[in-house]
Amino acid sequence: MTAYDTNNIFAKILRGELPCSKVYEDEHVFAFLDIMPRVPGHTLVIPKAPARNILDIKPDDYAHVARGAHKIAAAAMKAFNADGITIQQFNEPAGGQVVFHLHMHVMPRHDGVAMLP
Ligand code: 5GP
Protein backbone atom coordinates (compact mmCIF):
# COMPACT_ATOMS: atom_id res chain seq x y z
CA MET A 1 0.00 0.00 0.00
CA THR A 2 1.17 3.55 -0.77
CA ALA A 3 2.53 5.48 2.24
CA TYR A 4 0.57 8.32 3.86
CA ASP A 5 1.11 11.58 1.98
CA THR A 6 1.36 14.54 4.37
CA ASN A 7 0.36 16.87 1.52
CA ASN A 8 -3.08 15.33 0.90
CA ILE A 9 -5.98 17.83 0.89
CA PHE A 10 -7.36 16.82 4.29
CA ALA A 11 -3.93 17.03 5.94
CA LYS A 12 -3.74 20.60 4.61
CA ILE A 13 -7.21 21.35 6.00
CA LEU A 14 -6.11 19.94 9.39
CA ARG A 15 -3.03 22.18 9.39
CA GLY A 16 -5.18 25.20 8.48
CA GLU A 17 -3.46 25.59 5.10
CA LEU A 18 -6.76 25.18 3.21
CA PRO A 19 -10.15 26.59 4.23
CA CYS A 20 -13.13 24.47 5.25
CA SER A 21 -16.51 24.80 6.92
CA LYS A 22 -15.75 23.29 10.33
CA VAL A 23 -18.55 21.39 12.05
CA TYR A 24 -16.80 19.90 15.08
CA GLU A 25 -13.37 19.37 16.61
CA ASP A 26 -11.97 17.62 19.67
CA GLU A 27 -8.61 16.21 20.75
CA HIS A 28 -8.80 13.31 18.29
CA VAL A 29 -11.05 14.22 15.37
CA PHE A 30 -12.02 17.06 13.06
CA ALA A 31 -15.29 17.33 11.08
CA PHE A 32 -16.16 19.65 8.20
CA LEU A 33 -18.67 19.97 5.36
CA ASP A 34 -17.95 18.13 2.12
CA ILE A 35 -17.13 20.58 -0.69
CA MET A 36 -19.40 18.63 -3.10
CA PRO A 37 -22.24 17.55 -0.82
CA ARG A 38 -24.33 14.58 -1.92
CA VAL A 39 -27.06 15.75 0.47
CA PRO A 40 -27.45 18.92 2.54
CA GLY A 41 -25.30 18.58 5.68
CA HIS A 42 -22.90 16.03 4.13
CA THR A 43 -20.07 16.02 6.69
CA LEU A 44 -16.63 14.39 6.71
CA VAL A 45 -15.13 13.16 10.00
CA ILE A 46 -11.37 12.64 9.99
CA PRO A 47 -8.78 11.59 12.58
CA LYS A 48 -6.14 14.10 13.60
CA ALA A 49 -3.69 11.19 13.50
CA PRO A 50 -2.17 10.69 10.04
CA ALA A 51 -3.74 7.61 8.45
CA ARG A 52 -4.34 6.82 4.79
CA ASN A 53 -7.42 4.64 5.44
CA ILE A 54 -8.72 1.75 7.56
CA LEU A 55 -5.81 -0.42 6.41
CA ASP A 56 -3.35 2.08 7.88
CA ILE A 57 -5.00 3.28 11.11
CA LYS A 58 -4.59 2.00 14.68
CA PRO A 59 -7.81 0.49 16.06
CA ASP A 60 -8.02 3.09 18.83
CA ASP A 61 -7.70 5.94 16.33
CA TYR A 62 -10.42 4.36 14.18
CA ALA A 63 -12.61 4.15 17.28
CA HIS A 64 -12.14 7.90 17.78
CA VAL A 65 -13.40 8.52 14.23
CA ALA A 66 -16.39 6.23 14.82
CA ARG A 67 -17.17 8.14 18.02
CA GLY A 68 -16.95 11.41 16.08
CA ALA A 69 -19.32 10.08 13.41
CA HIS A 70 -21.71 8.93 16.16
CA LYS A 71 -21.74 12.46 17.59
CA ILE A 72 -22.19 14.13 14.20
CA ALA A 73 -24.98 11.70 13.26
CA ALA A 74 -26.98 12.63 16.34
CA ALA A 75 -26.39 16.36 15.79
CA ALA A 76 -27.27 16.12 12.08
CA MET A 77 -30.54 14.29 12.81
CA LYS A 78 -31.62 17.31 14.86
CA ALA A 79 -30.07 20.08 12.76
CA PHE A 80 -31.52 18.80 9.48
CA ASN A 81 -34.70 17.29 10.94
CA ALA A 82 -33.56 14.11 9.18
CA ASP A 83 -35.33 10.75 8.91
CA GLY A 84 -32.09 8.75 8.78
CA ILE A 85 -28.32 8.87 8.33
CA THR A 86 -26.02 7.24 5.78
CA ILE A 87 -22.40 6.64 6.81
CA GLN A 88 -19.80 5.62 4.23
CA GLN A 89 -16.04 5.12 4.41
CA PHE A 90 -13.96 4.17 1.35
CA ASN A 91 -10.52 2.52 1.31
CA GLU A 92 -7.99 2.55 -1.53
CA PRO A 93 -8.94 3.35 -5.16
CA ALA A 94 -10.48 -0.10 -5.59
CA GLY A 95 -12.71 0.69 -2.62
CA GLY A 96 -13.77 4.06 -4.03
CA GLN A 97 -11.35 6.27 -2.05
CA VAL A 98 -10.28 9.54 -3.71
CA VAL A 99 -8.70 11.54 -0.87
CA PHE A 100 -6.08 9.58 1.05
CA HIS A 101 -6.60 10.71 4.62
CA LEU A 102 -9.14 8.43 6.32
CA HIS A 103 -12.62 9.96 6.46
CA MET A 104 -16.17 8.93 7.26
CA HIS A 105 -18.99 10.49 5.27
CA VAL A 106 -21.99 11.32 7.48
CA MET A 107 -25.06 12.18 5.41
CA PRO A 108 -28.45 13.18 6.80
CA ARG A 109 -31.27 11.56 4.82
CA HIS A 110 -34.93 12.31 4.24
CA ASP A 111 -37.68 9.91 3.26
CA GLY A 112 -38.07 9.77 -0.51
CA VAL A 113 -35.01 11.97 -1.23
CA ALA A 114 -32.17 10.32 -3.17
CA MET A 115 -28.48 11.14 -2.62
CA LEU A 116 -26.54 12.65 -5.50
CA PRO A 117 -24.19 10.01 -6.99
P1 5GP B 1 -13.74 9.67 -1.04
O2 5GP B 1 -12.23 9.69 -0.90
O3 5GP B 1 -14.42 9.23 0.22
O4 5GP B 1 -14.21 8.89 -2.22
O5 5GP B 1 -14.23 11.14 -1.36
C6 5GP B 1 -13.57 12.29 -0.92
C7 5GP B 1 -14.58 13.35 -0.57
O8 5GP B 1 -13.87 14.53 -0.26
C9 5GP B 1 -15.56 13.72 -1.70
O10 5GP B 1 -16.90 13.62 -1.20
C11 5GP B 1 -15.20 15.16 -2.05
O12 5GP B 1 -16.30 15.95 -2.42
C13 5GP B 1 -14.54 15.66 -0.77
N14 5GP B 1 -13.52 16.69 -1.00
C15 5GP B 1 -12.52 16.65 -1.94
N16 5GP B 1 -11.76 17.77 -1.85
C17 5GP B 1 -12.28 18.50 -0.83
C18 5GP B 1 -11.90 19.76 -0.27
O19 5GP B 1 -10.94 20.43 -0.68
N20 5GP B 1 -12.66 20.21 0.76
C21 5GP B 1 -13.73 19.51 1.25
N22 5GP B 1 -14.41 20.05 2.26
N23 5GP B 1 -14.11 18.32 0.73
C24 5GP B 1 -13.39 17.82 -0.29
How far apart, in whole angstroms, are the C-alpha atoms of residue 71 and residue 44? Answer: 12
Residue ID of nearest Cα to ligand 1 atom 18: 35
Q: Is the CB–ligand 1 distance for residue 20 below 6 Å?
A: yes
Please, which pLDDT band fits residue 1 given cuts at 50, 70 and 90?
confident
Q: Would you call 112 exposed, middle or buried from its count of C-beta atoms within 10 A (0-12, 13-18, 19+)?
A: exposed
For 9-109, CATH gives 3.30.428.10
How far apart, in whole angstroms, are the C-alpha atoms of residue 77 and residue 79? Answer: 6
Share of residues in the chain with pLDDT > 70 (%)? 100
The model's pTM: 0.98
Give the tens place of pLDDT for each residue, 29-71: 999 999 999 999 999 999 999 999 999 999 999 999 999 999 9
Q: Are 101 and 8 in contact (CB under 8 A)?
A: yes
Please tell me the distance between residue 93's alpha carbon and the centre of ligand 1 in angstroms.
Answer: 14
Q: Is the CB–ligand 1 distance for residue 80 below 6 Å?
A: no
Please tell me the distance between residue 36's alpha carbon and the centre of ligand 1 in angstroms.
Answer: 7
How far apart, in whole angstroms, are the C-alpha atoms of residue 56 and residue 58? Answer: 7
Domain borders along the chain are: 9-109
